[in-house]
Structure 1
Amino acid sequence: MFTAARLVAALCLMVLGWIGSDYVQQIWPQDMYFGNFNYINAAIGFLCGWIIVGPRAGRGFSAALSHGITGVFALIFWALLFQATRQMVHLALRQRYDSAMEAFAAIFQIAIEYAANLADPGFVILMIVGAGVSAILTETASRHWR
């Protein structure tokens, strides 16, 4: 069901996904090809906000902070998994793997490598602050627009 809280949560996490993608492009190696990196992560953020954070709005600000952090963790998890799968397909098309199981296992190896690059303190602070702001805006929207 369409609610203002879902829309606000989706838009907040979409913006956070875009800003986080810009930050990641600065801290990762410059020779990486990012392509539609920002657009994909923004779309994942929109879906995480719409499906995870938005429906749970209206339970108070302390619960909202918890839901905001959950939504940001889901955004990071799904973005890592999607980008790792995308990189695996790119490498598979260059015939870097001998079997399908090796390619499937490479998804998780690539995701772990990407996650290790996200251990930057600035990125962590950005995501925590973004989760808090998204949660507060979503809870406010839930209280004012029913």
Structure 2
Amino acid sequence: MPDAARLVAAISLAIIAFIVSLQVMPLMPEGTDFGYFVPLNIAIGVVCGWVVMGRRAGKGITPAINNGLTGVAVMMFWGLFVQGAYKMFRQSMRHLYNGPFEALSDIFRIGLEYGMTIAVPNIIITLLVGALVAGLATEYAWRTWR
């Protein structure tokens, strides 16, 4: 059921996804075609905020902080997975894999490579502060507009 907590959580994670996406772009190799990188990450943030964080609101301050951390972690997992799957799909169209299992396992290798690339202090700090603010804002919205 739609409520203010779900909306605030979705908007909060969308903003975090937008900021982090802009921070990630300079870390990638020069000439990288980003295509739908930012809008796709924003959509992942909206869905994770609505589904993961929104339904867990209303349990107190400490669970709210944990809710924000969980929401950001789930968003990062799905973001890395989707971006890895997209790159795997592009590589599979160039016939770089010998079979489907090799292609599917490469999704996780690519996701780990991306994860290592973006594991820099400014992105980690942005994610942690964003998780804190998103969790507390979601809890505030739940308490204010039940």
TM exceeding 0.5: yes
Query: What are the Cα deviations for residues 1-21 of structure 1, in whole angstroms up to 9, with x where unaligned?
Result: 011000000010011111111
The residue correspondences of 1:10-89 to structure 2 (distance < 5 A) are 10-89=10-89
Amino acid across the alignment from 2:109: Q
Give me the whole-angstrom Cα distance separating, in 2, the residues matched to 1:132 and 1:27.
25
Superposition deviation, residue 108 in structure 1: 1.1
Give me the whole-angstrom Cα distance separating, in 1, the residues matched to 2:46 and 2:101.
31
Superposition deviation, residue 30 in structure 1: 2.1
Unaligned runs of 5+ in 1: none
- Size of the aligned set, in residue pairs, is 146
Structure 1 segments, 4+ long, off by >6 Å, are none
Indicate the SS of the match to 1:94: coil
Query: What are the Cα deviations for residues 71-100 of structure 1, in whole angstroms up to 9, with x where unaligned?
Result: 000000000000000000000001111111
Superposition deviation, residue 112 in structure 1: 1.0
Give me the whole-angstrom Cα distance separating, in 2, the residues matched to 1:21 and 1:30.
16
Matched, 1:130 2:125: no
Superposition deviation, residue 44 in structure 1: 0.4
Give me the whole-angstrom Cα distance separating, in 2, the residues matched to 1:54 and 1:39.
21
Cα root mean square deviation, aligned: 0.8
Percent of aligned pairs with the same residue?
41
Indicate the SS of the match to 1:62: helix
Query: What are the Cα deviations for residues 19-64 of structure 1, in whole angstroms up to 9, with x where unaligned?
Result: 1111110222222211100000000000110011111111111110
Unaligned runs of 5+ in 2: none
Alignment TM-score, normalising by the size of structure 2: 0.97
